[in-house]
Homo-oligomer: A and B are copies of this chain.
Amino acid sequence: MVPSDTVTRILDAAEVLFAEHGFSETSLRRITSRAEVNLAAVNYHFGSKQALIQAVFFRYLDPFSTDLHRRLNDLEAGEADAPGLETLLDTLFASVLEMPSENHDLRTFMKLLGLAYSQTQGHLRDELRSRYGDIFSRFLELLRRATPELPDDERFWRLHFMLGSVIFTLSGLNALRDIAAHDYHQRVTIRELAQRLKPVALHALRAPVADIGAAAMVDYPSRGQVTSHARTGTHS
């Protein structure tokens, strides 16, 4: 069951090139050329380009999913109460940060994840949902217990706000890092970014809930009325 050398090399090459140029923009020729492998090998081992794309994700996410499950098991076994929000986030961050450190690049994968969401790869989205829906649901349920004050729908959206922060930032990390390095003379690591993100995420999840019903009534002010518009009072 050990993946052959050829398979691994194709996956390695595909991973990097997809992350760098996108799926459609990366031809099989380029992948196999970089992997120093016959062009037909992709179709032989994976069946199609789409299947290769999925395989790249599976190789990353399968161990991650397993690891996170195990960590959540530990978490639930160790404490009487449901884990708190901070503990939960720490666990998630730890799983994400540690997992691929072995031989893969986290940034690469985050870019892939960003691509997966933005490029319309319907097949991918479906496959990911069906394959990793369980771990996602499990985490969401723990998050629910850790934030009982949030209505379900509000929690759903905030989770995706957070997800967007992570994926967007990390997937565009190269460009952003260049800017940051230029403007603030610093080089950030992913670990540092995680440190920065944590308090933001915590506060974001604990922010008071806006009264949507009322808010939906409030028309945003047009130009020229800006200074006198009614405050919605979500933040005292």
Interfacial residues, chain A to chain B (CB-CB below 8 A): 20-22, 24-25, 67, 70-71, 74-75, 78-79, 86-87, 90-91, 93-94, 97-98, 111, 114-115, 117-120, 125, 152-154, 156-158, 160-169, 171-172, 175-176, 179-180, 183-184, 186, 188-189, 191-204, 206-210, 212, 215-216, 220-224, 226-227, 229, 231-232, 234-235
Q: Which residues of chain B are near A167, meaning CB under 8 Å?
A: 164, 168
> Could you tell me if A212 and B226 are in contact, using CB atoms closer than 8 angstroms?
no
Sample (23) of A-B pairs whose CB atoms are under 8 Å apart: A21-B120, A74-B226, A75-B226, A86-B231, A87-B226, A90-B220, A118-B172, A153-B183, A153-B184, A156-B184, A157-B193, A158-B196, A161-B168, A164-B164, A164-B167, A164-B168, A168-B168, A191-B220, A192-B212, A192-B216, A195-B215, A199-B235, A204-B204
Partner of A79, one of B20, B78, B119, B227: B227
Beta-carbon nearest neighbor of A24 in chain B? B24
